[in-house]
Structure 1
Amino acid sequence: MLKGRTVLAGTAITGAAVLAAAGCSSGGGGDGGGDAPAAKVAITPANGSRDVAPDQPVVVKSDQGRLGAVTVADPKGRRAEGRLAADGRSWRTSWGLRPATTYTVTAQVAADGGKPVTSSSTFTTLTPAQRLESGMSPLEGEKVGVGMPIQLLLGKPVTTKQGRQAVERALEVRMSEPVEGAWYWISDKEVDFRPRDYWPVGQKVQVVARLTGVRAGEGLWGVKDRTLNFTVGPRHVTRIDAGKYEATVTDGGRTVRTMKVSLGKPGDDSYSGVMIAQEKQAAMVMDSSTTGNPGEYRTPTKWNVRMTYSGTFIHSAPWSTGSQGSANVSHGCVNASPADARWFYEFTNRGDVIEVTGTTRKLRFGNGPTPWAKSWQDWVKGSALGAPVKGVPLR
């Protein structure tokens, strides 16, 4: 806190604490009777306030002269962001404050022809009944495919429109090549962002989630900001035709490999739709008990690329090479030869696009990150704010 002699003025301006401090003046002569009056600084919340709502802005106003340095800091020295008005006579915080935290406000003003003033105030924000924790995907620093959405995962459900709007307003997507996108509430605990079309190749993306001090519901407050950085890799799109038993893999529109495959047999049909590569595992055990059919199969597999939450993978299947390219015989996965499966595993990034056609079963929205299962118009309708957003230029 800046040191100085501070006194509480005898009147208040619109309920705020009004603080004035006498400063030293240079020059000499006379008894000072001709000096201009010291500036008065009003700070909201008022000095000594407790249980302040974290989304209440801190506002500092000067009755004369431009404000100089203004800081709003907690005991650890963490400062709240703020902005000075064009006339220089008012300042306010830009984002929410940390719950259950004591803040000290200090402000300097050089009055118009008057004495320099340093003012201070202290207040404490409320302790939340519930804390809104969060996580994000992709991973920090990850290189992803052009179809990868941004996923914000919340520790508590956000059920009201007002709460969801508050969360969305706190989210900013910065891009090296700004494009249009939108947020969509997948559930009460997940909101995803996708661009209107696939990400541009080489895009650098930074997601800033200023959730601290966001009122997400009754007694539910955000307690921590998050920042995520990732990059977009090559435009990998794989098209799998169940009728032709064939997968065509492209890189930037150029076909780089054609693979014979076998999809789900009748009754175990694979999903048709636009999916993404969700994760990769070099080795795992496919167990029918995870799909509600215990005892039907339990098979070790290699070079697995997941396509759905429900357990659809592209993987090596040496036992079905005789059918690959001519018949669909799997339990719903996409079978490939060991050589093709390994190549595809090593080629693929999370977020690469996989389009399947020619089956009788349609991909269900939400069966994994499935942002491309909806039209752009329907995706925008899933935003609590009801509108797309333009990416902010990456700083």
Structure 2
Amino acid sequence: MRRSRTAVVLGTLFLALALVAGCTSEAPGGGGGSTGGDEPPKAKVVATPAVDAKEVPPTEPVTVSVTEGTLDEVELTNEGGKPVAGELAADKLSWKSSEVLGYAKKYTYTASATGTDGKKVELKGTFTTLKPAKTPRATVNPGDNATVGVAMPISIKFPEGKVTDKAAVEKALKVETSQPVEGSWAWLHDQQVDWRPKEYWPAGTKVTVTAKLYGLAYGGGAYGKADLSSKFTIGRNQVVKINTPDHKMNVYRDGKLFASYPASNGKDADPNLNTPNGTMIVMQKDPIGDFSNPRYGYTNVKKKWAVRFSNHGEFIHENEENRANIGKVNSSHGCVNLFEADAKAYFDSAIIGDPVEVTGSQANMPTTSDVYDWLIPWGQWQQMSALR
């Protein structure tokens, strides 16, 4: 009887152990049992740039998107904790920043979403933007609200360094006009690109220039410091025409003779003192100009109503001391001498960017002046674009 009772007790114990072991065993094929863990959330939140990204271009928008769910909230903040502007799409599937970022800055984003299964998910992270080796400034001319002559080029200069990737820069430049105007950009050198029309601007044209340079790689580790823009107007059509042997200066408005003034131009016999051939533009106006030139033995020489049309040294100005030769003999050192009253009348009529066309001289204007765009034939000008 005692052995039988012990066998019954042991049998009961083995049965209990077998039942406990059956509750924690793994089903064939690796599947969980009836008491397995919860399913992971369905929603997946992704950000670009990715968490911990480095050297991120500051002009590329930050985006956050979700699949199998909708975004509840997205916030992007700068190092000071200030929010960066952005907008959540109407369908709540994506968010996109709407302002450019700074150079060499750290940004933090936080996003939350609700999945189609009702479960909440979050994404948190940081990234840093690129740190340029240098950020040279650029300038644009003409500036805002200027009214300029029909030969005025648009000039973008990079005074603090050379541009290596000229094509990239040129692609970032845009010229919009109130009426159709054919024109082209041309690189005059590594630090200047100009746009000019094939022919003179139509009078009254409204011009808008935009240069999306911020964040743009110039090459050599340099990136654009800031975007540029300008809005200006082309004034009336006024063209000065000087055929040096005629000893006069003619001014045309809209193709018709507007005024004609007796003149004494550069000395014909000496090409170094000629008023050189070429199309230049009015660059500067001074009521009194200083024409001192020790090389030729004269100092403290002041002349009235000085209109510069070249940095080679040519002006239109009064010279009453040369009155005997005005209208008769070319006797100047390259400038166009007028009687005082005529010089004043012309001075008052001229604006920056008016063309000055000179013909009849022995010498041609060298391309050393600041503005020599019109000395370059159109076909050659087009070939000076980095996008040709």
Tell me the TM-score normalised to structure 2 length: 0.77
Q: Report what 2:128 is aligned to.
A: 124
Q: Give, in whole Å, the separation in 2 of the partners of 1:274 and 1:109.
A: 66
Structure 2 CA distance for partners of 1:107 and 1:355, relative to 1, 3 Å: farther
Q: Report what 1:51 is aligned to.
A: 55
Q: Report what 1:225 is aligned to.
A: 227
How far 1:78 moved relative to its partner? 9.5
Q: Give, in whole Å, the separation in 1 of the partners of 2:386 and 2:68.
A: 41
Higher normalized contact order (CA 8 Å, seq sep 6+, divided by chain length): 1
How far 1:80 moved relative to its partner? 8.4
How far 1:70 moved relative to its partner? 8.8
**Are 1:311 and 2:313 counterparts?**
yes
Q: Report what 2:104 is aligned to.
A: 100
Taking the TM superposition and a 5 Å limit, the aligned residue runs for 1:362-381 are 362-381=364-383
Q: Report what 1:244 is aligned to.
A: 246
Match of 1:272 among 268, 273, 277: 277
Q: Report what 1:177 is aligned to.
A: 179
The amino acid across from 1:318 in the alignment is E
SS at match of 1:342: helix
Q: Report what 2:191 is aligned to.
A: 189
How far 1:47 moved relative to its partner? 2.4
Q: Give, in whole Å, the separation in 1 of the partners of 2:69 and 2:379.
A: 50
Q: Give, in whole Å, the separation in 2 of the partners of 1:216 and 1:261.
A: 48
SS at match of 2:279: strand
Q: Give, in whole Å, the separation in 1 of the partners of 2:194 and 2:148.
A: 15
Identical-residue share of aligned pairs (%):
35
Structure 2 CA distance for partners of 1:341 and 1:217, relative to 1, 3 Å: same
SS at match of 2:245: coil
**Are 1:204 and 2:216 counterparts?**
no
Q: Give, in whole Å, the separation in 1 of the partners of 2:212 and 2:72.
A: 26
The amino acid across from 1:48 in the alignment is D
Q: Deviations over 1:83-126 (max 9, x none)?
A: x9xx9978888997542234456889998998899967542212
Structure 2 CA distance for partners of 1:110 and 1:341, relative to 1, 3 Å: farther
The amino acid across from 1:204 in the alignment is K
**Are 1:138 and 2:142 counterparts?**
yes
Q: Report what 1:14 is aligned to.
A: none
Q: Deviations over 1:58-92 (max 9, x none)?
A: 5555546899999977569797899x9xx997888
Structure 2 CA distance for partners of 1:43 and 1:145, relative to 1, 3 Å: same
Structure 2 CA distance for partners of 1:102 and 1:202, relative to 1, 3 Å: farther
> Which of the pair has more CA radius of gyration?
2
Task: State the Cα RMSD in Å.
Answer: 3.6
Residues 369-378 or 269-278, more deviating: 369-378
Q: Report what 2:155 is aligned to.
A: 151
The amino acid across from 2:50 in the alignment is A
Taking the TM superposition and a 5 Å limit, the aligned residue runs for 1:285-300 are 285-289=290-294, 293=295, 295-300=297-302
Q: Give, in whole Å, the separation in 2 of the partners of 1:182 and 1:116.
A: 55
SS at match of 1:364: coil
Match of 1:323 among 319, 325, 332: 325
Q: Is the 8 A contact 1:282 1:304 kept in 2?
A: yes
Q: Give, in whole Å, the separation in 1 of the partners of 2:254 and 2:363.
A: 29
More helix by share: 2
More strand by share: 1
Q: Give, in whole Å, the separation in 2 of the partners of 1:321 and 1:301.
A: 13
Q: Give, in whole Å, the separation in 1 of the partners of 2:300 and 2:174.
A: 44
The amino acid across from 2:222 in the alignment is L
How far 1:295 moved relative to its partner? 3.3
Q: Give, in whole Å, the separation in 2 of the partners of 1:37 and 1:226.
A: 46
Q: Is the 8 A contact 2:204 2:235 kept in 1?
A: yes
Q: Deviations over 1:192-214 (max 9, x none)?
A: 11122211211111211111101
Residues 47-56 or 142-151, more deviating: 47-56
Q: Deviations over 1:231-286 (max 9, x none)?
A: 11001111111011111101111211001111111321111100100111111211
The amino acid across from 2:141 in the alignment is S
Taking the TM superposition and a 5 Å limit, the aligned residue runs for 1:157-172 are 157-160=161-164, 163-172=165-174
The amino acid across from 2:341 in the alignment is A
Unmatched 5+ stretches in structure 2? 1-37
Q: Is the 8 A contact 2:243 2:358 kept in 1?
A: yes
Structure 2 CA distance for partners of 1:307 and 1:114, relative to 1, 3 Å: farther
How far 1:359 moved relative to its partner? 0.5
Q: Is the 8 A contact 1:264 1:328 kept in 2?
A: yes
Number of aligned positions between the proteins:
346
SS at match of 2:54: coil
Structure 2 CA distance for partners of 1:238 and 1:118, relative to 1, 3 Å: farther
How far 1:173 moved relative to its partner? 1.5
Q: Is the 8 A contact 2:305 2:344 kept in 1?
A: yes
Q: Give, in whole Å, the separation in 2 of the partners of 1:69 and 1:278.
A: 56
SS at match of 1:174: strand
Structure 2 CA distance for partners of 1:302 and 1:118, relative to 1, 3 Å: farther
Structure 2 CA distance for partners of 1:325 and 1:157, relative to 1, 3 Å: same
Match of 1:356 among 346, 349, 358: 358
Q: Is the 8 A contact 2:84 2:99 kept in 1?
A: no
How far 1:146 moved relative to its partner? 0.8
Q: Report what 2:21 is aligned to.
A: none
Structure 2 CA distance for partners of 1:367 and 1:45, relative to 1, 3 Å: same
Unmatched 5+ stretches in structure 1? 1-32, 387-395
Q: Is the 8 A contact 1:98 1:212 kept in 2?
A: no
